[in-house]
Every structure is written in structure tokens, then in C-alpha cells.
Amino acid sequence: MKVRWHIFLFLFGFAILSYLQRTSLGVAAQNIMPDLHLSRMQIGWLNAAFATCYALAQLPGGVLGQKYGARLTYIFVGIVGIIATIATPLAPVLLTGTALFLALLAAQGLLGLSQGPVFPMTAAVAQTWFPQRQWAVTNGLFSLGMNIGGAVTAPLIVVLTGIFGWQGALLSIALPATLLTVAWAWYGRDTPKLHWKVQPAELADLEASDLEKPAPMTLVRMKAILGQRDVQLLAFSYMCFNYVFYLIGTWSFLYLVQARDFRGLESGFAGMLPWIGAGIGAGLGGYLSDGLALRIGYRWGYRIVPLVTLPLAGLLLLVTIGVSAPYAAVLALMATFFMVEINEGAYWAATMRVARADTGAATGVLNTGGNMGGIISAPIIGALSGAGDWNTTFIIGTVFAFVAAACWLLADPDRRVK
């Protein structure tokens, strides 16, 4: 196996753990709320704290990661993420009332800050370690890792909560994160030329791809990235896309428990199924987008999958609230998440193609826009679900899905940041 795929596996692991860390709160919420006397709206604000800090950390994370390299960036991600993960279950041991809620907000915000650089840097690593013909595939597979993390969270946290309580369940996540961070510090390197195991044939493959090398970031370059039309369009589209992503990824477990009456371990496995659909979609989407780009060109090759699947995702949200059988709703959510996540490779590869050497910064802009969708969704869904109005929540998601698709008619991956 080429070394670049070893590097990929480490980042794949970080993607899995990042989603295990971030989605565990939503699964544990059914136990946290009565234990700590928190309302559903307060859980919404905890999710918003994560989403806000995560969004704010995207651009700085991409720029600083581009400056300091993937090795140091992921060491930072691992260490700070472990601290934040431990802080959430330990805070109730020391604090109560308002002080406890503020500590939980701070812990979720710190977790968001720690994970801000994760996905801009996966794109930057793909740009550095992989030829352009594999950009959509690698980003799609990174998203597959993310969705595996989301898939295993529900049953894992339900089982661990039954054994250790919700605090022990959340604490247990810190162990694999620690092991992965230590292993990455030993093996990870910023570029193929710096890694002792990379062979000349692998370097030649990358050099033949004529990849642009990252240059020092300046205010002029940053202004050009922020002002580039296609970066803006893709970021806005990704914001709309992520309303749907956060609706399913963060809130579907509570929807299945409260609106569809799933209980116990059955709720954990029902909550896992949408993430399985998402993982399959993310893995498949990268191959589809790369294959289409090589056959018909990058402009339409990257556009076709989002133009077809995002409207389908919106319609499937309406199916979810329209069916009466609980498992039919689960399957509709699974199909919706599949149609959503099949687009990850196209979004990230299109932004990489526009930005080239500035991939870290540009994908930071992309994911800042994307996570604005999470910020917007948290109070909306928290308020509507608290009132029992899941139907309006899903209808709003349908509108966002159609708007996200429409933006792809205007975005052109063949234009470049100048």
C-alpha cells in the first residue's frame, strides 16, 4: 500500500472520532436532560455552541493548518478534543445550576474549536498527497469515516450508558482519541517528501500530476479567496446543504425517540441506520463525481450529482413525515441521508479545484458556510421540536435542499482564485 493511503487511514480515523465526539451529546441527551434538569432548548443551545465555535474555527483552522502543516494541526486537534470530551461528563461532578450549564456550553464550544481544522486539513492533505484524479474520491471517503462515526455513536452510547451511565459513556470516547493522536504524532508528516517510507515511484506519480505547492498566506491572497464568486456560491450552497445534514445528523435520534416512539437498544440501532445510508452515499459519491469529471469535464462532472440528488433529498424529507410506520420513517431518513452525503466529494473537490494551492483556506471558507447551517438549524429545530412541530422542521429542510441544488447551476469549478 502506498504511504498516502496510510496517511489517509489516520485522517479517516480522525474523521470517525470527530463525529463520535460531536454526536454523542445528542444521543446522551435523553439521559442528560432529566439528570441535569436541562430543557430541550438548552440542549439546542449546547449544539449551537459547538456549531458556532466549529464554524468560526474553519477559516483560521484552514489557514493556520496550511501554515503549520497537517502533523502539528492534528496533534492539536487530538489533544484539545480530548480535553473537551472529558470536560462534559466531569462538569456535573463540580458544578450545578447556571454554572454547570455555562461549563457545558464552554466544553461544547471548545470541542467545536478543536474540530474546526479537521476537514479543511483533510482537503489540504488530499491536495498534497493525492493526484487530482482522486480528490473527490478521497474527500468522499473522508466523509464516509465521518458517517461511520455518526453511525456507531447511537448504539455505542446507548450500550455504554447502560453499563457505565451517560458520564462513563462519554468519558470512554477519550481513550481511542488519545491512542490515535499519539500514533499520528509518530507517523504523520506534512508532505510525501518528508516521510521516510515514501518511495520514488509514489513521488513521481504526484509530480506527474502537476500539483501546485502551497505558498505563504497573505492578506491579498486571503481577500482573493474570500471574494471569489465560486467559493462564495459553494459555501452558501453548503450552508443550505448542512441544514439538512444537521437536521438528520444531530436531531434524528430525538425525532425517532419522541415522534416515532423508539426505545432502548432499538432506538440506538434505529438511530444508526440513517448514518449507514450517509456513509454509503459519501463513499459512492466521490467515485461518481471523479468518474463524471474525467468523462465530461469538471464543470458538469461535479455539478450533476448535486443537481439530481439534493432535490431528491428534499422530497424524501417530506416522505419521512408523511409515512405512518416507524421503520418506514427510519428508511426514509436513511435514503435522505444517502442523497445528502453523496454530494460531499463534489463540494470539496470543486472547492479544491477552484483554490488549488489555497485549498486549506478555501475549504475553510466552504466549511464555515456549511456550519452556518448548523448554527441556523440549532435554535430553529430546538424550538420547533420542543413544541412538537417536527413537520415544519422537515419542510424547512426541504426548502434548504432545493436552494442548495440551485446554487450548483451558477458555481463553476473551472474558474480559479486569482
pLDDT at 76: 93
pLDDT at 211: 53
Asked which of 139-148, 302-311, 336-345 is least confident by mean pLDDT, the reply is: 139-148
The span from the CA of 366 to the CA of 215, in Å, is 20
Give the distance from CA 51 to its chain's centroid: 11
122 to 68, 118, 145, 154: CA distances (angstroms): 14, 6, 12, 25
pLDDT at 187: 96
pTM of the predicted model, to two decimals?
0.79
Q: What mean pLDDT is reported for the chain?
A: 90
Residue where the block lists cell 486539513: 121
Closest residue by Cα to residue 64 from 117, 1, 127: 117
pLDDT at 361: 87
All three cell numbers of 158: 446507548
Residues 6 or more apart whose CB falls under 8 angstroms from that of 77 comprise 14, 18, 114, 115, 117, 118, 181
- Which domains, ranges and CATH numbers included, belong to the chain? 3-407 (1.20.1250.20)
DSSP 115-182: HTTHHHHHHHHHHHHS-GGGHHHHHHHHHHHHHHHHHHHHHHHHHHHHHHHHHHHHHHTHHHHHHHHH
Residue 43 banded pLDDT, cuts 50, 70, 90: confident
Closest residue by Cα to residue 364 from 225, 191, 223: 225
The span from the CA of 111 to the CA of 282, in Å, is 24
pLDDT > 70 fraction of the chain, expressed in percent and rounded: 97
Would you say residue 65 has pLDDT above 80? yes
pLDDT at 221: 80
Neighbours of 53 (CB within 10 A): 23
Each residue of 286-339: pLDDT tens digit? 999 999 999 999 999 999 999 999 999 999 999 999 999 999 999 999 999 999
Give the distance from CA 104 to its chain's centroid: 21
Q: Which amino acid is at 313?
A: A
All three cell numbers of 108: 461544547
Q: Can you say whether residue 255 is alpha, beta or left, with left for phi > 0 and alpha for psi between -120 and 50 degrees? A: alpha
